[in-house]
Amino acid sequence: MDKLKAHFTPLYSPEGLKALGLALLVLIADQATKLGVLYGLNLREIGQQVNILPFFSLTMVHNQGISFGLLTSDGLGRWLLVLFQFGMAFGIANYVRTKTNPWLIVSLGLIIGGAIGNGIDRLRLGYVVDFLDFGGTGFFPWVFNIADSAICIGVALLVWYFVRADMAEKGKTAG
């Protein structure tokens, strides 16, 4: 009976599908904004800029590293990052497929979408298109994109999820 139940169990729970739906929305928003910057605003050269507000501009950066330009690499490193990004996205998508916790669903959906968005850039262009520049604030010098934002927010929510789960577990064992 267990084999029969396992055979007819859906591959993804409804919540797992929501994570993939969120990942798709992040991916679409990320790629659409990058295309808009590259071809709509015609910002293709490093350093080209459109000032929007005194503290915010759209500034073209070709990021060959991971989020916020960390661990810059090209050549073989580029392909290792591509494999890592798509591998992580696939692994997380496989993990989230049966999960039901809303915090977990949202956090992992954001991470999946961001990883695929930046992976597509690296695969297609050899670098990630970064353009959101809040350098005018004086305290945030990095230029980033929608995918970077989604990954960072997703990781923060994931940490929150695990901290809350750990606190709940400690509360059970203390009582």
Which active-site residues does the annotation give?
130, 148
Query: How far is residue 11's CA from residue 94's CA, in Å, rounded to a whole number?
Result: 9
Q: Containing H/E element for 7?
A: helix 2-8
Q: Look up residue 99 and give its two tokens.
A: 């999960």
Which amino acid type is present at position 30? Answer: D
Q: Which residues of 89-115 are buried (b: 16+ CB within 10 A; e: fewer)?
A: beebbeebbebeeeebbbbbbbbbbbb
The neighbour count for residue 142, using CB atoms within 10 Å, is: 16
Residue 138 sits at φ, ψ, to 5 deg, of 90, -10
